Amino acid sequence: MFDSTAPIGIFDSGIGGMTVARAVTRLLPQENTIYFGDTAHLPYGDKSTAAIQAYSIKICNVLLQQKCKLILIACNSASAAAFELAREYVGSKAHVMNVIDPVVDYIKERYAAKTLGLIGTKQTVLSNVYKKKVDALDRDIILKSLATPLLAPMIEEGFFDNSISESIIARYLSDPGLDGISALILGCTHYPLIKKQIRLFYGGQVEILDTSEIVAHSLRAWLEQHYLTNQTGEGKRDFFVSDYTQSFEASTQLFFGQPTSLQHYPLWE
């Protein structure tokens, strides 16, 4: 049995997973969290499956050393490429979650016989993981997927509320491949940072599914189901990075509204 006071480990290639981490800490403020940003290898979206798997296993090992009770792969690319391998590697030492299954469960209950859109990295879209899982629901859901590879690097560079990002977003969302959708899945944890611009583009005609909120609620439900919510914690936040950058440190302050210190933890010495 896991220790309920043990931390939750969350990892991503960069700042994108902080959208999920912030949603988790808002929903479960008493939980201790450890966030690992693999800044030495970002973005994951254009990496090979083998490379993402290698990075993910290394990070899981770090989080196991920190005695995490739950490890959340807060990255769609890593969830698509490495979830099964990570779960096998971690075994019974911690519970492993991804950011795809909670979203699929969510749309199962709400979007039968609807046409949905998905935007994500090349790795996520080309893996077809969402389409396979949605088709398996047998709910007559049509999923139209579009790779949007410029968005995550753009957001990492801080371009998420200006005319540059606006034109790139509009170019992608105007693609005929997304015609006729009733809702759009933000299939990358970076994308909630441009949710406002995406919503403005559609003018309220398309529902925007913020996966970070969906995943946070699923995580809380699992902890409650297994009586593992931390009843005594004060919500300690720790941040590890594989390569220190000032921009990442600034991003943690932007997300969590307080000064933070990063611990440099290279994956390969």
Q: Does residue 244 have a known ligand-binding role?
A: no
Judge residue 180's burial from the number of C-beta atoms within 10 Å of its C-beta, 0-12 exposed, 13-18 middle, 19 or more buried. exposed
To the query of whether residue 68 is one of the catalytic residues in this protein, the response is: no
Q: Does residue 217 have a known ligand-binding role?
A: no
Q: Does residue 13 have a known ligand-binding role?
A: yes
Tell me the residue type at 260: T
Q: Does residue 44 have a known ligand-binding role?
A: yes
To the query of whether residue 75 is one of the catalytic residues in this protein, the response is: yes
Q: Give dist(CA 216, CA 211) in Å, integer.
A: 9
End-to-end CA distance of the chain: 33
**Omega within 30 of 0 (cis) for the link into 43:** yes
Q: Does residue 45 have a known ligand-binding role?
A: yes
- Out of 15, 21, 59, 75, pick the active-site residue: 75
Q: Does residue 261 have a known ligand-binding role?
A: no
- Out of 74, 141, 186, 188, pick the active-site residue: 188
Q: Is the dihedral of CA 251, 219, 73, 209 positive or negative?
A: negative
Q: Does residue 135 have a known ligand-binding role?
A: no
Q: Does residue 189 have a known ligand-binding role?
A: yes
Residues at the annotated binding site for substrate?
12-13, 44-45, 76-77, 189-190
**Where in the sequence numbering do the catalytic residues fall?**
75, 188
Annotated binding site: 12-13, 44-45, 76-77, 189-190
